[in-house]
A = this chain, B = another copy of it.
């Protein structure tokens, strides 16, 4: 199968490209290196040192993984997108090519507008290019569980059967996202569903939970194949960040009372979910949604698990929640579709946490402790916020 991975230089895009290539698919990657640019802007770095895309691709060929072709360019450039897709003629496009951090989108007006424009326009360009080049191409698009928010009813996989005043319909599941980033994914979902309806495209929208983990079978083969590991208050996901706090002897910071519940997924399951969705494509005209996570945990439970497993001392500290989100809410989200396709979940375990402690221990001299704490508050707007990298200091 010919597969094009958009955002193929990122935390998840890169291991996904390797996983698909290792399994014998013809893989091409696209990136504009925006993610590496955010590091420069915010003044942070991946905990794990990462090679350039050229070095990565050379390393993969050297370890016998095969050739992955790279297309460097911006998805907001419609002509580039059209040309790339016509050139690759993929069976499947895996689309990770978006700004993916909620706090980044909430920095100020410019970052909110950038996030929504970048994500929505990039995806529109991909949809138009598919419609132009070959409407049979299957789009596998990364969304987020954060699109749903925390409704007081069970979360289904994208669609909801409703009965209202004695009549029935199947409708898109109502969304209540928690940041301008999460909103950009809701906008994407609506645009993609429409494209399936008018052009008969086939699409799988993967509403992914919070990803944790540092490596996959392939990234471990060579140091140049390692993927990034973010721990900063803007791009670091909760579990990865807390592992670093434990190793550094800092309290594990829980936002608010920590009762917020989220779906979690291990990096190794993410790449496998992409394979499963790609190898069993949606039908022509079908807008299919899978909830891509393997277990539900509250932020407090995550902190307690890490504190318990850490060999040294680890304490938990509650800090004012920089986000505006519900605490003590109902949460029950269906996630059976990918299991039905064959996913065998890798749940959070002692071995897994131990391995993460090892990874962090190895690189802990690279950590900037000042970068860990949240710097972006949801209730604030542009004029009240730090605007330059040097001003990204921890909140009181």
Contacts and interface: CB of A to CB of B under 8 A. Distances in A.
A387 interface: no
B113 A121 contact: yes
Contacts of A175: 172, 190
A164 B162 CA distance: 8
State how many copies of this chain the complex holds. Answer: 2
A168 B330 CA distance: 11
Contacts of A169: 151-153
Nearest to A379: B198
Interface residues of A, number: 54
Contacts of A197: 324
A190 B191 contact: no
A116 B120 contact: yes
A199 interface: yes
A323 to B, nearest CB: 9
A182 B151 CA distance: 25
A393 interface: no
Contacts of A41: none
Interface in A101-135: 108-110, 112-113, 116-117, 120-121, 124-125, 128, 131-132
A80 interface: no
Given A112-B128, A154-B165, 9 more contacts: A112-B124, A113-B124, A117-B120, A162-B174, A167-B330, A171-B176, A174-B174, A176-B193, A198-B324
